Chains A and B, each alone.
Chain A
Amino acid sequence: MSAETAGPETLGSLSDEPQQDPNSQQAKEISGKSPLRIALGRLARDKIAVVCAVVVLFFVICAMFAGTISDLFGVSLETPLASERVDGLNNGLPKPEMGPPVGPFTWEHPMGVAPRTGEDNLAYWLHGCRVSLLIAFTATLIASVVGVVIGLLAGFLGGAVDKVLSFFIDMFLTIPFLLAALTLAPILNERFNTSPDYPTIQKFSLVMVLAMFGWMGTARLIRGEVLALREREFVQAARVMGMPTSRILFKELLPNLAAPIIISVSLMLPAFVALEAGLAYLGIGVTDGVSWGQTILKAATPTYFREYPQYLWQPLLGIVALVLSLNLLGDAVRDALDPKTRR
């Protein structure tokens, strides 16, 4: 008598997982967990992921409670009269009583004050963190929702809809982001600069610009996944049973797309944080001064870098730590969600 060629035994031995007794304690525990819980468990065992999560949490807390923390330290965003805090005859560096680099550390201004203007660095750092995360989170949210919806529709409906949507995806991919941002800034300025809400409008338009040029990657990824998924038996079955398309899309397909969505979001976030700072540095993002990129622009002169390096390091470290930990966390999340990776 011949055995079946592809019986369960053969499949089992092909896997590189160590053989387990299906009745063992360990196996029972696994079988009782959802895929997401398994992923979370893996994440919790990943030391880098935990450290990164703590760092991200720190920045999120700084951003959410920027005002409160500033009040605790007794600092604010208010512009002081420059001559009260900096010495115009000493390259505009802070006066000795304002703390480093000229004087000793003081709790009045724990991170010192900015040269030339005398604005408090801590307050600007905290609020810069808030602006950075607010813009990055909102842009990521919008970009991923748009990307997911378009990817789902294009992949599942196929045909003409797919062609049209793919065309738009390709078209947006061809527009050079920086050039578009450079062109849009003066147009938006001219349209809205007399409005009292100009700073808010500016941030909103920045979110829009980031989102507008950020959704295509997600859309392509999702479309590809959906193309593969829609031929699977459970989707076919759902169709045969006459489920409405929306139900198939959101109840059947979407849960299976959780991994690619989380991955694309986790990579988009740090990219947007860096882009926000980059645009502010170029003077086409946030221009009201409350942004890490703007602080870097002011600090990046040879003289200040030599005599007051902390002024540049503060926002720089903020950006580097945030972007790096978001990226590593994203990697860890991907590893945890992907059953194919083993470490």
Chain B
Amino acid sequence: MKRNKPLALVAGAALLTLAACGGGSSDEGETGEGTQREFGDQEGGTKDAERQGPAAEVEGATEGGTITVYLAGDPGPDSLDPTGGWSVTGNSIQQALTHRSLTQYIRDEETGDPILVPDLATDLGTYNEDFTEWTFTIREDATWEDGKPVTPEEVAFGICRSLDSEAFPSGPGTKYSKDYFAGAADYEGPYTGKDPKCENWDGVTVNGQDITISMEKPFPEMDYWGAFMAMGPAPLGNASKPPNYGTKPLSNGPYKVESYKPNEELVLVKNDQWAPESDPGRHQYADEFVFKFNQDQAKVDEIMLSDNADSQTAVSASLGSDKYNDANAQLGDRLVQQTSQCVSTLTPDYTKITEIEVRKALAYAYPYEDVWIAGGEVPGVTRIPANSVMPPGMAGKKDFQVDGEQITYDPEKAKELLAEAGYGDEPYEITMVYYEVDPLAKATQDQITKGFEASGFKVNAIPVQESPYNVWLDPDSKINKKLNLRGVNWCSDWPSASTMIPPLLGGDEVYNTAFFKEAAVDEEIDRIVTEVPVDEQPAAWGDLDEMIMTDYFPIIPTAFRNDLFVFGSKIGNPTGDGALGAPNYKDLYVMQ
């Protein structure tokens, strides 16, 4: 998912730098004072098509109270229109509390892994042999906040809306709906195409309670795509016309929008029309949720650590890394670490750095832990060593190591590899960019330069004053043409490698900043998507992942990224949502 992109723009400098930093040291055991934290792997996403409402009660949960959520340095969504939402913050809030879709994730109580379960559909959908036709049966007992039932026609209309890439330019439908749904490429959408009833597109048909979606090409992961709120219902006609609908959308989840000030505050209150029996995943414990956007991180940290009356029922979706030690010592279980399903990478230009030895030498020359520290990260906590582009917790993820053990900073080994490739005599020149406005980015670059130069490289680091992505993704940029080392941060859209490997390593993909292109890999990607049976796909992705890294090593995974959430002392069930990398809003309650 381009999850990183909006986030990077929001958090500005600090996050941008991550593009060029990341990790791979094995120093996990060391911890300071405080609780010894186990950051275990998260097993791959599982599915449970049988799950029915009401959702299992959270043990000891009580009703009532107000939960305040602080979102530091994050302006939140610009609009609440479910079709336009494609950000961690907006989607995690709305999908958990206000907007239902075909499917949803719940958190497995024991393992903490996300499980894909039905939502508005009664199961996870049925499909034909080649995944070109998906049928979902819409449940009859789901209702809108005004008491009217959610009809299959409304779900079909919601799906149709996702095809309007002009009305929702940054919506996820621009990628998935447009790519996969039959005839979607030629259909402009209900608003741009002046087709308010969606009559001119026949990709989705309604038959009683069943809706059937036809695909342009096989789409075995439609059930995951169904968990996006864009794949949910919208009131027919003008009632849901953008952009007005985005300021106060009609809710169908356990909470409804009480007030919404973009970039400031979102208040959700109980929706009394929501029936627990109709929903296999959500709860309605707290009376009210208040989301405060654009907060100052340092201020939020002080509030959360003070444990005063206000902060006892508060949640913070982030923690300044400089506060990690205090928080770790003081909060115990109320500091939750959650894999964000993201990987930081360095991407050596495949067309310029052609020898695998040089690419591996770069991996050994990268001072992982030093880069993390200089960039303000906590080694082993917010950044953990990575072995491939598939983050931990992804179905099919293999625990292999390219060279037998985790690659760590080893300048001698890097020099040997360079010598093997025939560059032992004089330094191998590396050209890269860094974001000079942020001192953390500059400090990070200094560490990288130090590590590389100790390993037989010569670094030409070009300072830029815009997002490095703007340089890396601009094919006409003069600077970009000079670079032979870039980077990219990538997060998954759902726990499947099909949202990681193809966008990063498929030939001609936008975010393939390594320009890696091998016919064998492209063919294998194509084969997995079109020929391999669904239940064997995770394993096939895992094999492909290992094959790419072992045979080509085109990308240097520097770190898997983790988020830290802080929960007040009266918040019950402090947990994270592994599917989206956000606090697990669905299961929170206020202790009475």
Contacts and interface: CB of A to CB of B under 8 A. Distances in A.
Contacts of A194: 462, 478-479, 482
A190 interface: yes
Interface centre among A86, A196, A301 (most CB of B within 10 A): A301
A89 B31 contact: yes
Given A89-B31, A294-B439, A81 B370 contact: yes
B443 interface: yes
Contact of A193 (B322, B378, B479): B479
Interface stretch (A44-52, A269-277, A283-291): A283-291
A89 B32 contact: yes
B103 to A, nearest CB: 40
B298 interface: yes
Contacts of A189: 436, 463-465
B146 interface: no
Contacts of B479: 193-194
A81 B367 contact: yes
B376 interface: yes
A90 B324 CA distance: 8
Interface string A134-154: 000000000000000000000
Instruction: Assign chain A's interface to a size class.
Output: 35 or more
Contact of B463 (A83, A193, A301): A193
A190 B436 CA distance: 12
Contacts of A60: none
Contacts of B478: 194
B323 A88 contact: no
Interface string A283-313: 1100111000010011001111000000000
Interface string A71-112: 000000001111110111111100000000000000000000
A158 interface: no
Interface string B278-293: 0000000000000000
Interface in B1-53: 30-32
Contact of B369 (A88, A90, A91, A196): A88
A267 to B, nearest CB: 31
A262 B547 CA distance: 74
Contact of A83 (B298, B373, B378, B464): B373
Given A79-B449, A82-B370, A91 B322 contact: yes
Nearest to A303: B322
B451 interface: yes
A223 to B, nearest CB: 38
B437 interface: yes
A185 interface: yes
B566 to A, nearest CB: 15
Contacts of B460: 196
Interface of B: 30-32, 298, 301-302, 320-325, 367, 369-381, 436-440, 442-443, 446-447, 449-451, 460, 462-466, 478-479, 482
Given A81-B451, A89-B381, A186-B465, 8 more contacts: A83-B379, A84-B370, A88-B379, A89-B380, A92-B321, A117-B374, A283-B438, A301-B298
Interface of A: 79-84, 86-92, 116-117, 185-186, 189-190, 193-194, 196, 198, 283-284, 287-289, 294, 297-298, 301-304
6 contacts: A79-B446, A80-B450, A116-B375, A194-B462, A283-B437, A303-B298
> Nearest 8 A-B pairs (CB), nearest first?
A303-B322, A82-B370, A88-B373, A82-B373, A283-B437, A79-B446, A186-B465, A89-B32
